[in-house]
Structure 1
Amino acid sequence: MLARFVQGAKLFPMPPNCPVLQWDYDTRMVGTTLEFRAVCSFLLDGVAHHTVGIWRPSKKLAQRDAAERTLGLFVSRWASLITLDELAGTRDHEPLPEARTEVELLEKFCQRLCWDNPASVGWSHRWEDGLCQAFAEVRLLDVPHTFPSKRHSTQEEAYEDAARRVLWYLQCPGYEEKFEPDTGYVKTVAQDIPEPSACWNKDDNLQEGQPVSLISCLGRDV
C-alpha cells in the first residue's frame, strides 16, 4: 500500500526502474531478545523522505510497523486537512506575521497552524569541515518532522536556509516557489537514497499507535 501511494505521486513521478521503498534497520538487545526498528526511505514528489517505526521483535514486523505509520501519516492525517492556507489562518489572505528573520517567521507561522496541538519548532546544528548545517524540528500533527539545511559558512545562514525550506514545505504564502525538486539529484539518488543525518531525532519515545517520525531533505533554490 505504501509503495502504491508513493508511486502515485503526480507532481514529480518516480524515475523508472528504481526501488520505490528502500529499507534499513536499527537493532538493539533487550535482555536476550534482539529487536529491530525499520527506517524507510523514499522519494515523494521529488523530495527524499525518511520515516521510522518502533522497535519490533522481527524485521518483518518492524517493516510493517513503519509502513503502516507512514501511510497513516500521509493518507489519513495530511489528507484529512483541507488546505494549509485554511489551517494557517491565511484562507482570507490574512497577512503574514511581522518577523525580522525567516527563523522568526517560521516560528510565528507554526504558532498559527490550527491543528490538534500547536506546532512547535526546535533547533539544532552541527559543524563539519568548517561548515554549519542546521536542523529545524517541527512537530506537525503530533509528529516530529526534521528539516535539514544545506551547509553554510555561518550558523545564521544555516538556520535561515532551514527555515526557508520548512516554509516552502508548508506552502507558506510567498514561499510556494522558493524551491523545486532537483531533477539531477533525484536521478542520482533514486537507486540509493543517502542515509539521513545522524542528527535526526528518531524519537525513541514513540509508543504503540503513535505516528512515525519523519525527515525531509528538500530541493534546490528557484
Structure 2
Amino acid sequence: MARDNILLSYILVDILFVLSGGLLIGFALITETEAKSVPTISTVARDLLFVRCPLNAAVGNAVMVFVTFLISVPAMVMPTTRGWLKFHGYMTVVCALFTMIIGLDIWFDTLKTRKNLALVWKQQPATSQSLLQQEVCYFTMLNCCGYLNSTSPPFVVDTTCPNALVAAARVGCVGPFSVFANGFLDLVFTGAFGIVGIDVALVLSTAMLLKNRKEKERYRHIDEKNGTGAL
C-alpha cells in the first residue's frame, strides 16, 4: 500500500506539473493576443506591461514541460524502470531552472520600474500617453499629467489635462504608473515562483519513487538468490 501511495503521489504531482505548463502557454498566448489589440483606457497600461514579459521564453518553457511530461509516461506504466524516471527527474530540474530564470527576470525588472517605464512612456504615441494619463487616474483615484510632471516630458492635452494651468496642478504619472506596474509584475513573477514550487515537489516525488523502486529491485534480487523469485 505504501508503494502504491508513493506512485500515486508522483502521478498527482506530475499532473499538476503538466497543468502548470498549460497555464504558461495559455498565459503567453492570451497575453500576446491582448497586447496586439487596440488599446483602451482600461487596457493600455496592462498591455504595455504584457509586452515587457518574456512571452517567447514562457512558450518555450511550456513546450519543455509537455516534453518532460511525456517522458514520465513510460516511467509510470513500467513499474520496474528507473532509467526513464531518472531522465524525467533531470528534465524536471531543467524546467524548474528555466521557470526560475523567467521569474527572476521579471523580478529584476521591478527593481528598476521607473527607469523602464520612462522608456516605455517615451516610445508611446500621444494617443497612448493620453490613455495612460486617464487610466492611471482610474487605478489610483489620482489625476496625472506627463510622466515626471506636466513638463517632463510634456503632458498630452485631453480631458484630464485640458491646459497647462490644470496640468501643472496635477502630479506626474510616474508614481501611480509605477505602483500599478509593480503590483501587476509582482503577481506574474509570484506565479512563476509558484510553478517552480510544483517543479520542486515533482523532483522530490521522483526521488522518493526512485528510492522505492531501488529497494524493490534489491529485495527482488535477494529473493532470486534465495530461490523464491517465482513467488
TM over 0.5: no
- Structure that is richer in strand per residue: 1
TM-score (norm 2): 0.21
Q: Which has the bigger relative contact order, CA under 8 A and spacing at least 6?
A: 2
TM-score (norm 1): 0.22
Larger radius of gyration: 2
